[in-house]
A and B are shown apart, each in its own frame.
Chain A
Amino acid sequence: MNTNSNSYTIIYASVLVIIVAFLLAFVNSSLRDLQGKNVELDTKKQILSALGIREVQDAEAEFSKVVKSDMIVAEDGTLQTYEGAFITGYEKEYKENGRAHLFVCEIEGETKYVIPVYGTGLWGAIWGYVALNEDKNTVYGTYFSHASETPGLGAEIATEHFQNEFKDKNVMDGETVGLDVVKNGKVDKPEFQVDGISGGTITSVAVGQMLKGCMGHYTKFLTAKE
C-alpha cells in the first residue's frame, strides 16, 4: 500500500484524530465524578488549613465538625444561610451570582470566620482563605496556593512560614482593608502589613491586592458592630 498518497494521508489523519478525540472524551467523562470529589475535598482541606488544621487524616469529618455553616454576605452586611451544593469556584460565584461566601466555624468554643480570596499572581491564578477571629478584625490564620508561580520564589506563598506571618494582623483600617503584603523590607505599618518574599515581589504584591480586592466585598460585614 502506498502510504504517501494524498488520500491515504488525509484518511489516516482524520481517523487518528477521531480515535484520539473519542479516547480523550471517554477518559474525561468517566473520571469527571472522581475529579470533582477530589476538588471538593481539596477545597475543604484548604479551608481547614486556613484555620490551622493541617495534615488531617479525614478532612471530610473534620470539616463537618469545625465548619458550622456556609453563609452568604448580603448587601447590608448581614449573613444569610446558603442552602445550595458545596461550591468550589468562589470567583465565579461572586461575579455571576453575586454571592460572597463566608464560612462560620467554631474552634475550641470560639467563632472564626473564613473568607475565600482569589486573584492573579505573576504566571497564573492564586487563591486562598483567610480565617478571622470573632472580633472580625484580627487574622487567625491564612492559607494560600497558586497555579504556576515560580518554585522557590513566588511559590513560597504556599508555605506555612509565609502564611503564619499574617497571624494577629489587623484587617480593617477604617473603612478600607488595610491588610496587605509589601515588598520585602518595606513594611511601614506592621499592624497591617506583611513582609513580601524576596525575589517573589510580584507574587507577594499580588497576594496583597487579592486580599484588598476580595475582602473589600465583605467591608459591610467586617465593620458592622453587633
Chain B
Amino acid sequence: MGSLFSAKNKEVFSTPISMNNPVTVQVLGICSALAVTSKLEPAIVMGLSVTIITAFSNVVISLIRKTIPNRIRIIVQLVVVAALVTIVSELLKAFAYDVSVQLSVYVGLIITNCILMGRLEAFAMANGPWESCLDGLGNGLGYAKILVIVAFIRELLGSGTLLGFNILNYDAIKDAGYVNNGLMLMPPMALIIVACLIWYQRAKHPELQDKE
C-alpha cells in the first residue's frame, strides 16, 4: 500500500464514479435502479445505504480475504453482506425510524445488489482494506449518482414534484397544456433513461465504445 491518497488510490475511488460507472458502464444493479427511482428521496437514501454497505463489506472481506476457503467464498461474502445489511436496518429502526420506514422494501434489495457481490469478488478479495474501502465508496457513489439523475428526471416529469415539493403542478402551467407524464413513473421509463445516459456517456467517450 502506498500513501493513503496516492494517485492509484484516487483512481480507485474516482473511476467508478465516471469512466467505469457500475450502472452505465458495467451495467450492474439495474433492477434496483428501476425499483427505487420513481421518487427522488428513496433514490438518495438507497444510494447512500448501498455506498455505506459496499464500503463496509469490502473492508470486512478484504481483512479476512486470506483466510476464506476458495470453494465457499461466495457464501462467505453473502453472509457478511447479509449480516451488515441486517445490522444497518436494525440500527435505522432504533435511531432513525422514519428513514427505516421509507427504506423497508429496499433493504432486502441491497443484499441482492450485484454491485456488492461484484466488488467483493473482483476487488476486495485481491486488495488491502483501505483500497477496498475507497473502491466501495467509489462504486456506491457511482451507483447513487445514476439513481439520483434517473429519479430526478422521473419525479419531475412524472409527478411534477421534487423531493415531494411541488414544482410543476400549478394552474398556470396546466392551462398552458402541460400534463404530467404518467409513463415516467412506470419501470420501463427507468430503463429508457438509463439507456439514454449510457448513450450519452459512450458518445462522449469513444474509448468506451465496443470495437468493431
Contact = CB atoms under 8 A, between A and B. Distances in A.
A17 B79 contact: yes
A34 B95 contact: yes
Per DSSP, are chain A's interface residues mostly helix, strand or loop, or mixed?
helix
B75 A13 contact: yes
Contacts of B66: 3
For chain B, the bracket of interface size reads 20 to 34
B67 A42 contact: no
Contact of B67 (A12, A17, A123, A151): A12
A38 interface: yes
B24 interface: no
> Residue among A123, A150, A151 with the most chain B CB within 10 A?
A151
Per DSSP, are chain B's interface residues mostly helix, strand or loop, or mixed?
helix
A187 to B, nearest CB: 20
A148 interface: yes
B52 to A, nearest CB: 16
B71 interface: yes
Contacts, number: 78
A31 B90 contact: yes
Contact of A12 (B69, B155, B186): B69
B182 interface: yes
Contacts of A42: 97, 101
Given A3-B70, A12-B69, A42-B101, A152 B94 contact: no
Interface in B23-73: 36, 38-39, 42, 66-72
A198 interface: yes
Contacts of B75: 13
B207 to A, nearest CB: 36
Given A31-B90, A152-B158, A199-B182, A9 B71 contact: yes
Given A16-B79, A147-B104, A199-B182, A31 B69 contact: no
A12 to B, nearest CB: 5
A160 to B, nearest CB: 10
19 contacts: A3-B67, A4-B69, A8-B69, A12-B69, A16-B79, A23-B83, A24-B83, A31-B94, A35-B93, A38-B97, A42-B97, A147-B104, A151-B36, A151-B38, A151-B39, A152-B159, A153-B38, A199-B185, A199-B186
